[in-house]
Amino acid sequence: MISRIFFTILLVASVIFIAKEGPASAHLPSVAQANSASGHRLADSMQVKLDHIRQNGQQSRPDQMPTAMTEEEVNDYIASDHIELPQGVKKLRFEGRSGVVTAFLNVDFDEIRGGQKSANPLLSVFSGKHDVQVEANASGSGGEGKVNVREVTIDGFNVPRVALEYFVSKYIAPKYPNIGMDSEFQLPNRIDMATVGYHKLTVTQK
Model confidence over 146-161: pLDDT tens digits?
888 899 999 999 999 8
Can you give the pLDDT at residue 60?
92
Q: DSSP characters for 123-163?
A: GTTS-SEEEEEEEEEEEEETTEEEEEEEEEEETTEEPPHHH
Domain boundaries, the chain: 2-205
Among 79-93, 171-185, 187-201, where is mean pLDDT lowest? Answer: 171-185
> Whose CA is closest to 160, among 143, 181, 186, 182?
181
pLDDT tens per residue across span 3-40: 333 333 333 333 333 334 343 333 333 344 444 445 67
65 CB-near residues (< 8 Å, 6+ apart): 204
**pLDDT tens digits, residue range 39-98?**
678 988 988 998 899 899 999 999 999 999 999 998 998 888 777 777 888 888 989 889
82: helix, strand or coil: coil
**Per-residue confidence (pLDDT) for residue 29, from 0 to 100:** 37
* Nearest CA among 84, 93, 82, 92 for reference residue 26: 82
Strand, coil or helix: 40: coil
pLDDT digits (tens, 9 = 90+) for 101-116: 898 999 999 998 887 8
What Å distances lie between residue 46 and 3, 25, 180, 191, CA to CA? 13, 13, 27, 17
Could you list the beta-strand ranges (E) of the chain.
Answer: 67-70, 89-97, 100-108, 129-141, 144-154, 157-158, 182-186, 191-197, 200-205
Residue 108: its pLDDT value, please? 92
